[in-house]
Amino acid sequence: MSSFAGLTMTTPESQGFSAAKLERISETMTTAVAAGEIPGAVTVVARRGEVVHTHAVGTRNLDQPADTLGMDSLFRMYSQTKPITAVVTMTLFEEGLLFLDDPISKWLPEFANPQVVGYPAAKDRVKGTPLALGSTVTAEREITIFDLLTMTSGLPASGRTPAIYQEATTKAMKGAGFLPGDLLVNDPPGTYEEMVLALAEAPLHSQPGATWNYASDFDVLSLLLERATGQPLDELFQERVFGPLQMSDACFYCGENATDRLVADHAWDEDGRLIVRDPPESAEKLGRSNRKLMSGNGLFGGALCTPPDYARFAQMLLNGGELDGAQIIGRKTVELLTANHIGDRRVDLAVGPGYGFGLGYAVRQEVGGTFLPGSPGTYGWGGAAGTWFFVDPVEELWGLFFTHVFGYQFLPTADLAVRFEKMVNEALID
């Protein structure tokens, strides 16, 4: 039998799928490429440790259409780096180097005594303490590692902070390179440490732990991991995840000999046409920059992975933290990672209704009212260039959808990742 990512490839029927229904995935992606919706796509589905579907279509680079997209193509994971960062963090948790309730100021004193915008603490409201317009108050508690992992830190975020604080927030976020208009892949605003620490200069938009918000929590966490271990992020990822899992192509910067496998970043122009945003031959991800912006949040492309690389990561999670004899984290730690930790606080990102959030993963809570088939407990996350993965422990399956259009998921009509997961579930017959 053939293999994919070291996993056996088998027929869909042997793992309870309708082959005809799974084939709809390939047909859908091929049609989308032909229609100019995306430059290309890779899809992979596995169940019970066996791969039942692989498909690649399109080009790595619209300026070089003959450069065929394949399973060995290096994709920029962007925010889909976060699930890996969370696993790296939990390896340190299991070793006792850090704990989830540790204040981040233990390693990042720049974030000590955070200030919060716009309203007094509860005790001061009771006392009638006046609060001047535009003033801040000291946070009721420090930001913890748990807050970063669950994205409930209150760190400044575009569109969240009241107008009176926008100047300070915008300054900090521009310094961090986190505003969409500042995501200049070939001209980062500073060193990664400078970018992260700039965030400490702005007030929090809410009390730590109060609300879920998509901000730069994992950027701060990345710097914390470097300080806690004394290792650069690429070495830490290689030692803790990439190496043990034999994710042989996974990296933050590829060598020039891999240029012919690095996908181009695409985007839509003002007329809605796909264009090359960042060509492989001049990409900052080739490592020509001395800045080494290695972000566990996904900023500036995040980690680079091939579909087989990420397949091994997904299978490790489904296996309870182990793959091919390499125990990355314990089974109960995986359960902790992928449980909903935010209660009924709203996850206001493009994952749809019925989702909570774990430690770096969106977690499906229910089927009713979500309009899509699936299982409670399914978890996953995506990246800014349109990548997405999900793991369904109930059905013992996982799926990968990879494309390469920056900002893809924020276009209302860009729903291929959702349709992919829908078609996977619809193909289950046993």
Rg from Cα positions in the chain: 21
Percent of the chain with pLDDT over 70: 86
Q: Are residues 135 and 230 in the same domain?
A: yes
CATH number for the domain that contains residue 51 = 3.40.710.10
Residues 140 and 77 in one domain: no
What is the arithmetic mean of pLDDT over 339-348?
86
**SS3 call for 190:** coil
Q: How confident is the model at residue 133 (pLDDT cuts 50, 70, 90)?
A: very low
Q: Give yes or no: residues 15 and 63 share one domain.
A: yes
Check whether 15 has a pLDDT greater than 60.
yes
Name the phi and psi angles at 131, rounded to 5. Answer: -135, 115
pLDDT tens track for 242-256 = 999 999 999 999 877
Token pair in block for residue 407 = 């900002």
Please say if the pLDDT value at position 23 is more than 90. Answer: yes
Mark whether 342 and 294 lie in a shared domain.
yes
Residue 268 and residue 369 in one domain:
yes
Query: Do residues 110 and 220 touch, judged by C-beta distance below 8 A?
Result: no
Here the contacts of 231-236 (C-beta below 8 Å, separation 24 or greater) are 232/292, 232/294, 233/294, 233/295, 233/296, 234/292, 234/294, 236/88
Whole-angstrom CA distances from 20 to 26, 247, 374, 428, 429 are: 10, 31, 19, 11, 11
Q: Is 81 helix (H, G, I), strand (E, B) or coil?
A: helix
Helices (H), 230-384: 233-237, 307-318, 331-337
Judge if 74 and 110 occupy the same domain.
no
pTM above 0.75, yes or no: yes
**The two three-digit tokens of residue 232, written as one number:** 């650069």
pLDDT score, position 57: 98
In the block, tokens 């508690």 appear at 141
Report residue 354 as tokens: 């019925």
Write the burial class of residue 135 (CB in 10 Å: 0-12 exposed, 13-18 middle, 19+ buried): middle
What is the structure's pLDDT at 238?
98
pLDDT attached to residue 129: 53
Do residues 285 and 352 share a domain? Answer: yes
SS (H, E, C) 13-43: HHHCECHHHHHHHHHHHHHHHHCCCCCEEEE
Is 239 a domain residue?
no
**Structure tokens belonging to residue 351:** 């994952």
C-alpha pair distances (Å), 156 with each of 114, 176, 203: 11, 11, 7
* CA-wise closest residue to 377 among 393, 397, 398, 390: 393
At 81-103, the pLDDT tens digits run: 999 999 999 999 999 999 999 99
Residue 155: inside a domain: yes
Look up residue 84 and give its two tokens: 């890996």
Q: What percent of the chain has pLDDT over 90?
A: 66
Residues 111 and 196 grouped into a single domain: yes
Locus of tokens 């206001």: 348
199, part of any domain: yes
Q: Which residue has the higher pLDDT, 57 or 186?
A: 57
Q: Are residues 258 and 407 in the same domain?
A: yes
Query: Residue written as tokens 């850090």?
Result: 98
Cα–Cα dist 334/353, whole Å: 23
Q: Which of the listed residues 234, 257, 288 is the one where a domain comes to its end?
A: 234
Number of domains in the chain: 2
Is residue 94 one of the residues assigned to a domain? yes
**What pLDDT was estimated at residue 184?**
46
What is the 8-class DSSP label of residue 369? T
The answer on 367 and 253 residing in a single domain is yes
Pick from 201, 234, 267: which residue ends a domain? 234
- 163 and 299, same structural domain? no
Rounded (5°) CA angle 124-130-134: 105
Look at residue 240 and tell me if it is in a domain. Answer: no
* Domain end marker among 214, 234, 254: 234
Gap between the Cα atoms of 375 and 377, Å rounded: 6
DSSP assignment of 105-126, as one string? GGT-GGGSS-EEESS--HHHHH
Domain contains 241 = no
Exposure b/e, 51-65, CB count within 10 A at least 16 = b: bbbbbbbbbbbbeee
**Is residue 184 in a domain?**
yes
What's residue 330's pLDDT? 98
User: Who contacts 263 (Cβ-Cβ below 8 Å, separation ≥6)?
Assistant: 40, 60, 61, 69, 73, 74, 75, 76, 280, 404
On whether residue 347 sits in a domain, the answer given is yes
User: Residue 295: is its pLDDT beyond 80?
Assistant: yes
- Domain range holding 339? 3-81+246-426
Residues 132 and 168 both lie in one domain? yes
Q: Is 223 helix (H, G, I), strand (E, B) or coil?
A: helix
